Amino acid sequence: MATDLPLTGIVVVELGDSASAPFAGKILAELGATVWKVERPVGDSSRSWGPSRWRGDGAAFHALNRGKKLIRIDIKDDNDQTKLHKLLHEHADVFIHNLRPGSAGRYGLDAESLRVLKPELIVAEIGAFGHLGPLNTEPGYDPLMQAFSGIMSITGERDGSPVRAGVSIVDFGSGMWAAIGVLASLHRRSVKLVGSTVNASLLETAIAWMSLTVAGYNADGNPGERHGSGISFIVPHRAFAVADGDLIVSCANDSLFATLCAALGRPEWTTDDRYATNAARLENREELERLIGEIMIEHPRDTWHERFREFGIAHAPIQTTDELVNHEQIKALAIICDAPGDTLRTVGSPLSFDGKRPAIQSAVGPIGKDNQELDELLHEAEPRPYRHISAMKEDIA
């Protein structure tokens, strides 16, 4: 395990299934924490996801769980439950789970019970609808929350059906918020000597992604509309078909729009009352986008790339996954990499420290791959020397 990362020495226990909690554990592992991933006897759900498979498991499981220690624990079994509690009480700094609301308490894994015996423990709970309110015990998944939060109502073509984002933005976002909460709690613990409970949820994450739309609705009652590859508050800021694909063009202000007009050979648009300001362009979106599209379809992506680079216009091709993985920029960043002993390349940490990206520390393996190491830790190792808060306060006094 790397010894120069920010969370080196921190021990995390992740009782996570599918995507949200495993993504939180992945973030913390990439930051240097030792993450013990607890799997049910049948394994994490993502082991069975398809269609892409690698070494008998879903490729998704590899993407979400590399760099972790994998242990098989049946929380319904008394012996296994005792083993998990011993790991938490004697060695863990952080416990993350996305158990269905109410079920953690049945096994003594709720934050209140755990922190009675270990007040310095940080517990991160990822729920579906949030820890409060009439729906707080209901189950939920990424597409449900994209629907319930309104994200799908503003995603898709204007005259088409609502569309789910093609990636699990709510699951991954919830894991990210949980990790942020854990990091903040670790800092708070170092200053105030107290543990904490972090509550994150799929719904609250989805609502956070709706921040601009909610603000707009509360300002003028506009619930938002679908604009395909565009957005509601800037024009032009969308994809246009070119001779060999599609290209996103972004003009976030009037000055950038004037530059685009010059690049397109239409400088007169900058003095046209219909297009001169963003407010006017919003009113005349359909006509302006049609005119831009008629020009851009005449040339391929590479021609526009050179032209727009010359003028300093923000743009990007809509790439397929194979184009992304094989692009020279992605190769230069080395963000897609393999793990020790495994040739499957997955996405590594999107963070670098002092210019260096954390390496993936270990490949995944079968369910319970590290159970023997866990048994040795629990039977031979002394509890971690982190002292209870009361003793620490006496030292400070």
Residues 298, 316: Cα–Cα separation, whole Å = 17
CA distances from 262 to 2, 144, 256, 284, 312 (A): 51, 44, 10, 19, 11
Residues 170, 217: Cα–Cα separation, whole Å = 21
Q: What does the CA dihedral 19, 168, 26, 175 come to, rounded to 10 degrees?
A: -80
74 is catalytic: no
- Please name the amino acid found at residue 58: G
For 334-380, the three-class secondary structure string (H helix, E strand, C coil) is: CCEEEECCEEEEEECCCCCECCECCCCCCCCCCCCCCHHHHHHHHHH
- Please name the amino acid found at residue 50: G
Q: What is the pLDDT of residues 53-100, one digit of tens each?
A: 999 999 999 999 999 999 999 999 999 999 999 999 999 999 999 998
Fold of the 11-209+331-396 domain: Rossmann fold (3.40.50)
Domain ranges of the chain: 11-209+331-396, 237-317
Active-site annotation holder among 17, 44, 142, 171:
171
Q: What is the pLDDT of residues 123-175, one digit of tens each?
A: 999 999 999 999 999 999 999 999 999 999 999 999 999 999 999 999 999 99
Neighbours of 106 (CB within 10 A): 11
- Predicted confidence band of residue 385 (pLDDT cuts 50, 70, 90): low
Element (H, E) at 199: strand 196-201
For Cα atoms 226, 314, 254, give the angle at the middle one, nearest 5 degrees. 75
Residues 95, 98: Cα–Cα separation, whole Å = 10
pTM here is: 0.92
CATH architecture of 237-317: 2-Layer Sandwich (3.30)
Residues 180, 43: Cα–Cα separation, whole Å = 27
Which one-letter DSSP state was computed for residue 74? -
